[in-house]
């Protein structure tokens, strides 16, 4: 039952590629937004926070629809990217990465923001008093102390990306070998007679990958915390 086939491993490889790209592409912006929300004081801060968390409360299909309208070949962003740079995201694995990144972004921002808020502001003030520029204070004090939260946010984003379904299937469809991730493949097989054995195999793959990610995250967090 658990002798995985080449097709199973291909689906896993595609899912990991989508999740890794989505996570890595989101981290810089997530840190910037989290820092802005944690330390910034400006008009519209509450609105920005609401917009960032909007994908969590919207039906994923709605998010996928708006992505299709924006990044499709006829969308304002998608048409420009296609004509100018030759980049097409709709119905491509890169589009699946965008959908996964959008859905996991609020979780990543929230974890990183809470971690930054837990950093003692007096340490940052001390660094500034000693002559450190704001950028160096950020790089040598704030971010190192917030690193466990950043790692946790990355794991949350990765896990969400790995299991993303609604926005992905709406934006890039369910194309075997191109956009069919683990979640989409499992959904397809549950609709097919005799697909139970393969569903179990793919579900087992999902559980294994998720557990490995969580174990690695916990180990890294403990190591970073011990060093700080």
pLDDT tens readout for residues 83-128: 898 888 988 999 999 999 999 999 999 999 988 988 888 888 888 8
- The C-alpha angle with vertex 213 and arms to 207 and 217, in degrees rounded to 5, equals 145
Q: Which residue has the tokens 């949350």?
A: 156
Q: Tell me whether residue 143 is in a domain.
A: yes
Residue 174 gets which letter from DSSP? -
Which token pair is 110? 């929230």
CA gap 217, 148 in Å, rounded = 9
Q: Tell me whether residue 39 is in a domain.
A: yes
Q: Tell me whether residue 58 is in a domain.
A: yes
Lowest mean pLDDT of 11-15, 150-154, 212-216, name the range: 212-216
89 in Cβ contact with 78 (< 8 Å): yes
DSSP reduced 3-state for 177: coil
27 in Cβ contact with 150 (< 8 Å): yes
Counting every residue, how long is the chain? 228
Q: Tell me whether residue 70 is in a domain.
A: yes
Q: Is the pLDDT of residue 61 over 90?
A: yes
pLDDT for 176-188, tens place per residue? 888 999 999 998 8
Q: What is the CATH number of the domain that holds 106?
A: 1.10.3720.10
Q: Tell me whether residue 1 is in a domain.
A: no
């Amino acid at each position: 039952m658990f002798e995985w086939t080449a097709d199973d491993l291909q689906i896993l490889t595609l899912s990991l590629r989508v999740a890794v790209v989505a996570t890595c592409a989101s981290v810089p912006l997530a840190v910037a937004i989290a820092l802005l929300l944690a330390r910034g004081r400006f008009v519209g801060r509450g609105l920005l926070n609401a917009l960032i968390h909007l994908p969590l409360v919207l039906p994923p299909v709605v998010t996928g629809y708006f992505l299709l309208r924006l990044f499709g070949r006829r969308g304002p962003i998608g048409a420009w990217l296609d004509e100018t740079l030759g980049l097409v995201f709709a119905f491509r694995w890169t589009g699946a990465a965008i959908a996964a990144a959008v859905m996991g972004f609020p979780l990543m921002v929230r974890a990183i923001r809470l971690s930054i808020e837990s950093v003692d502001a007096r340490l940052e003030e001390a660094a500034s008093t000693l002559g450190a520029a704001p950028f160096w204070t950020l790089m040598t004090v704030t971010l190192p102390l917030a690193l466990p939260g950043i790692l946790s946010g990355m794991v949350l984003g990765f896990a969400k990306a790995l299991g993303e379904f609604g926005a992905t299937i709406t934006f890039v469809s369910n194309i075997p070998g191109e956009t069919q991730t683990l979640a989409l493949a499992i959904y397809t097989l549950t609709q097919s007679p005799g697909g139970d054995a393969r569903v179990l195999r793919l579900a087992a793959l999902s559980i294994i990958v998720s557990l490995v990610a969580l174990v690695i995250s916990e180990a890294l967090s403990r190591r970073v915390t011990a060093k700080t």
